[in-house]
Amino acid sequence: MMNKIENKQSVNGILLLNKPQGLSSNAVLQQVKRLFQAKKAGHTGSLDPLATGMLPICFGEATKFCQYLLNADKCYEASGLLGIKTNTADACGEITQEISNFTVTDAQLLTVLEQFKGKIQQVPSMFSALKHNGTPLYKYAREGVDVARAAREIIIHQLDLTGFNNKEFDIKVSCSKGTYIRNLIEDIGDRLGLERM
């Protein structure tokens, strides 16, 4: 285990941290902030607790650059499972719909993926950190309250199918800020017509 830095001097710079699975971006930020005893620190965009990957953390004077990183395009690799829908659009949620008797070909999937490239509209998940009246949406969701959410424009620069096996598929996505990958995967399943089966 790493020892705490005892130096009380201000910490300035950017740490590229590989966020582990199971922790929120904010929980990781607070741990790193305590470890470095930093007075000022911020991350440059949230990753879901299930997600792993690069989470830039800015300290001190470097927090002035956070906004530039927040607004930058992002790249993700993700896996989806067709035929199961959850209330959170990920593996942590309660199953709300399950379909077992269907067939999707790779040609059908590729055709649908093409429809999601470019500027598209996406409705954010209730299980997100977006705020409504100052309260994160996920807090409303946990209380069973559904808040109306307007669709937001996002840009999918690249959407490649990197793996497909029966009902499971892997994608690589390059996108604008504010894109929810779990919602993208859910929308792909809906576009394939699985929600109507």
> Chain centroid to CA 80: how far?
13
Q: With 70 as the cut, is the pLDDT of residue 129 above it?
A: yes
Largest CA distance in the chain: 62
Q: What's the pLDDT score for residue 8?
A: 52
Compute φ and ψ for 90, nearest 5 degrees: -145, -175
Classify 74-196 by CATH class: alpha beta
Q: With 50 as the cut, is the pLDDT of residue 197 above it?
A: no
Catalytic residue among 48, 146, 170, 187: 48
Q: What is the mean pLDDT of residues 91-115?
A: 93
The token pair that represents 84 in the structure block? 């199961």
Q: What is the mean pLDDT of residues 83-112?
A: 92
What would the pLDDT profile of 93-102 be if each residue is shown by its tens digit?
Answer: 899 999 988 9
Q: What is the mean pLDDT of residues 156-180?
A: 96
Q: What's the pLDDT score for residue 10?
A: 86
Domain range annotation of the chain: 13-70, 74-196
Q: Kindly give, in sequence order, each residue whose CB lies less than 8 Å from that of residue 1, ignoring residues fewer than 6 positions away.
A: none
Q: Kindly give, in sequence order, each residue whose CB lies less than 8 Å from that of residue 40, ignoring residues fewer than 6 positions away.
A: 10, 59, 60, 63
51 in Cβ contact with 19 (< 8 Å): yes
Q: What's the pLDDT score for residue 59?
A: 94
The whole-angstrom separation of Cα 40 and Cα 13 is 11
Q: Which residue has better confidence, 5 or 117?
A: 117
The CA distances from residue 97 to 28, 44, 155, in Å, are 33, 34, 28
190 included as an active-site residue: no
Q: What is the mean pLDDT of residues 64-79?
A: 92
Q: With 70 as the cut, is the pLDDT of residue 39 above it?
A: yes
